[in-house]
Amino acid sequence: MVDFKLSKLYGINNKKYLSELLKVELSKLKDIETHFSTTPFYQKNQKGKRRRLYNPHPDYKKVLQRLNIHLSRIVAPDYVLGGIKKRSYVMNANLHKENDYFLLLDLKDFFPSTRDNHVYYFFRNKLKMSQDIAKICTLLTTEPSEDRTFRHLPQGYSTSPYLSFLSYFDMYNGIKNISDNQNIIFSCYYDDLTFSSKKRISFKFKETISNIVADYHLTINKDKTRFYTKKRKVIKITGAIINKGQLLKAPNSLQKKMYIYFKELTQKTQQRPVEKEHIIKLCNKVIGCLTAIQHIEPKREFPHIRKKVKEIRKALR
């Protein structure tokens, strides 16, 4: 059972208290759209798909981080593996690895599709905020759509990952209950919904889940819908590769990404003037990929890469 009262955000009906909690001037909270907004930028992923991303101003970022700290006091159910500290995509795959049948679903354009009315509903009805406070928190955590006809959760805000679950708490809880009733294990990792069982998962079950999702104005991505059986040689669940009930290896895409970052890092250190901030970011990206690989394959150590990154960081001090 999720206890929303664990957060200090619960039941707030006073702007002054909210301003103290978020350490922001009261006058700014009274005019969110003037003082808090972010200019979007666009980025293509590895498949060439264009994404709209947001990088808040440092002061705005701090406010969002403080808000997220208070949201994180609400302990997520065990089936939520994305956007939660000390939970990961590897844990998500581990949860299912010993089963025989799998259904993988993906919520299409999840963040852009998470409209402000769902975010407001969470603040107003789950956290029991007054209407004006719920509106302030909604404006803080959402951005206008590209055509400015509605607001939505933006990719790039620290609050978006957990809010994407909290805003659809009733939907996820409904999916969990239906899965439990059919002895199907369910987990969610951001927009990825994973189901597994010892018995075959029916198409009817998949349609039931799709209908629940549709009730909340979301869509299942048909191109990413997958039914698998354990007989399949390799099964990929949220980036972790499973073979015969065992985590086998990190995906090639993750290893490739690490080597690309490492190559760029070594090139940047040779250039003058030295772009210190960019080099530090590349160091973090390389170690992040390396750690993710080792999380799946503990015996892989990459001593040369670790040593080189350590030397670069030391030289920047």
Where in the chain are the domains? Answer: 15-229, 250-316
Q: Are 201 and 104 in contact (CB under 8 A)?
A: no
Q: Report helix angle 276-296 to 252-268, nearest 10.
A: 150
In 3-state terms, what secondary structure has residue 245? coil
Using an 8 Å Cβ cutoff, are 149 and 175 in contact?
no
CA 133/CA 127 separation, integer angstroms: 10
Closest CA to 103 of 207, 190, 173, 216: 207
Q: How far is CA 94 from CA 90, 228, 246, 248, 250, in A?
A: 6, 16, 8, 11, 13
pLDDT value at residue 292: 82
* Dist. CA 110–CA 155, nearest whole Å: 10
CA gap 177, 2 in Å, rounded: 14
Residue 188, SS3 per DSSP:
strand
> Could you tell me which of 172, 204, 207 has the C-alpha nearest to residue 191?
172
pLDDT at residue 46 in the model: 63
**Element counts in the chain: helices (H) and strands (E):** 14, 11
Question: Could you report the per-residue pLDDT of 164-194, keeping only the tens digit for each?
Answer: 999 999 999 999 999 999 999 999 998 999 9
259-298 pLDDT, tens digit per residue, is 999 999 998 888 888 788 889 999 999 999 998 888 778 7
Convert 155-188 to b/e letters by CB count within 10 Å (16 or more is b): bbbbbbbbbbbbbbbbbbebbbeebeeeebbbbb
What token pair was written down for 269? 């250190």
Residues 6+ apart with CB under 8 A from 287: 306, 309
74 is written with which tokens?
């609400």
Alpha-carbon span 250 to 230, nearest angstrom = 19
With a CB cutoff of 8 Å and minimum separation 6, the contacts of 262 are 286, 305, 308
For the chain, residues with pLDDT lower than 70 are 45-48, 244-248
Contact 313, 307 (CB under 8 A): no
Beta-carbon contacts of 157 under 8 Å, excluding residues fewer than 6 positions away, are 54, 56, 64, 141, 143
